[in-house]
């Protein structure tokens, strides 16, 4: 049974269709990438999933039952893109407070906070205030407060922004561990290399609509361009006659990038090169990166131009 089923969700504001008929489902233990340019409707979608706003139309099914904003939000952990903590509050108290708001008793909260502080090596921070923490430290604290009530669904909006590689890895490992223990994770980001690394499944939204849905592998296969790279063992300046079977994208003495035409197989091309007497030491299909796919899909829209600037 899926932890989350989103069915034909709609949320219209006076000036725009923020979320326009989006459906998707989320299996337990999966890491799900929610992608899209700025202003595509991701935050609106997330806010409906966290019970902050209500959909105009459509239904959210959480854990097999219609979403109940009062009780089900206790099983959701949400880390918004705009981080927020009480600056003047002690870190230990703050974590306890947020845990108790998620329905933990005082005792449970204390136990969980201690456990997580130990895991992240934060025990000595207990009496510090947030204003004394570095950005990375408060990011870690934010992550801990998001997950310490053991939510079934964890929604992370740009969880790695502002983290150094060591801490980013720490958080990444935690994400994998939480997913292995059965939590489903919705991961919203602009960083495509992170999506490729972490997510099993992605959807892409643009202008409030879902324009892509599938596993990372399937999406890449779907958008592959028959793009191959051949590497030469010895310097070669003479290439075989293509005869319309491929287009050369780039080449030098040690290799060539080419796109195969419809009906041409990689073996035929290799045969051409071998017949030419060229030493080949590598042959590789280049699948498009998610980044390329994104720019292709949303590149012509107004919001996408902004998006390109961000990932550039």
Residues that bind another protein (CB under 8 A): 47, 50-52, 54, 70, 73-74, 76, 78-80, 82-89, 97-98, 100-102, 105, 142, 145
Task: Provide, rounded to whole angstroms, the least separation between the CB of residue 149 and another protein.
Answer: 9
CB of 191 to another protein, least distance (A): 21
Question: Residue holding tokens 């990375």?
Answer: 136
Closer residue to another protein, CB minimum distance, 163 or 269: 163
Q: At a CB cut-off of 8 Å and minimum separation 6, what does 67 contact? A: 49, 51, 59, 60, 61
- Maximal CA-CA distance, the chain: 76
Residue 101 CB coordination number (10 Å):
13
Smallest separation (angstroms) from another protein to the CB of 157: 10
Asked if 73 and 50 touch (Cβ cutoff 8 Å), the reply is: yes
Cα–Cα distance list, 244 to 66, 204, 252, 260, 261 (Å): 57, 35, 20, 9, 7
Q: Nearest CA to 101 among 78, 135, 80, 68? A: 78
Residue number, 105 or 284, with CB nearest to another protein: 105
Q: At closest approach, how far in Å is the CB of 52 from another protein?
A: 6
- The CB-of-53 to another protein minimum distance in angstroms stands at 8
Beta carbon nearer to another protein, 111 or 200: 111
Which residue, 69 or 136, has its beta carbon nearer to another protein? 69
208 sits in the region (left: phi over 0; alpha: psi -120 to 50; else beta) called left
At 67, list the tokens.
């979403």
CB of 62 to another protein, least distance (A): 14
Give the residue with the Cβ less far from another protein, 52 or 280.
52
Residue among 30 and 142 whose Cβ is closer to another protein: 142
Nearest by Cα to 49 from 148, 155, 182, 157: 155
Using an 8 Å Cβ cutoff, are 42 and 209 in contact? no
- Taking the complex as a whole, the smallest distance from the CB of residue 142 to another protein amounts, in Å, to 8
- Kindly compute the dihedral angle of the four CA atoms of residues 270, 273, 276, 277, in this order, to the nearest 10 degrees: -80
Of 97 and 283, CB closest to another protein:
97
C-alpha separations of 111 from 92, 149, 152 in Å: 12, 11, 19
């Amino acid at each position: 049974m899926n932890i989350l089923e989103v069915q034909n969700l709609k949320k219209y504001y006076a000036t725009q269709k923020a979320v326009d008929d989006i459906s998707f489902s989320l299996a337990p233990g999966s890491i799900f990438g929610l992608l899209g340019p700025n202003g595509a409707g991701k935050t609106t979608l997330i806010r409906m999933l966290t019970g902050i706003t209500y959909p105009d139309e459509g239904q959210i099914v959480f854990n097999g039952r219609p979403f109940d904003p009062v009780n089900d939000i206790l099983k959701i952990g949400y880390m918004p893109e705009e981080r927020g903590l009480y600056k003047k509050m002690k870190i230990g108290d703050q974590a306890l407070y947020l845990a108790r708001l998620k329905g933990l008793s005082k005792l449970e909260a204390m136990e969980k906070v201690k456990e997580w502080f130990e895991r992240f090596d934060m025990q000595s921070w207990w009496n510090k205030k947030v204003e004394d923490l570095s950005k990375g430290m408060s990011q870690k604290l934010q992550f801990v407060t998001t997950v310490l009530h053991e939510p079934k669904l964890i929604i992370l909006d740009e969880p790695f922004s502002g983290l150094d590689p060591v801490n980013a890895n720490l958080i990444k490992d935690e994400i994998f561990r939480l997913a292995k223990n059965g939590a489903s994770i919705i991961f919203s980001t602009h960083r495509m290399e992170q999506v490729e690394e972490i997510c099993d499944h992605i959807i892409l939204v643009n202008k409030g609509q879902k324009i892509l849905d599938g596993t990372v592998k399937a999406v890449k296969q779907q958008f592959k361009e028959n793009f191959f790279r051949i590497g030469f063992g010895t310097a070669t300046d003479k290439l075989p006659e293509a005869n319309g079977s491929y287009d050369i994208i780039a080449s030098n003495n040690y290799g060539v990038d080419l796109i195969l035409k419809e009906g041409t197989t990689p073996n035929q091309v290799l045969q051409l090169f071998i017949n030419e007497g060229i030493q080949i030491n590598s042959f590789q299909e280049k699948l498009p990166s998610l980044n390329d796919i994104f720019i292709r899909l949303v590149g012509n829209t107004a919001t996408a131009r902004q998006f390109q600037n961000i990932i550039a």
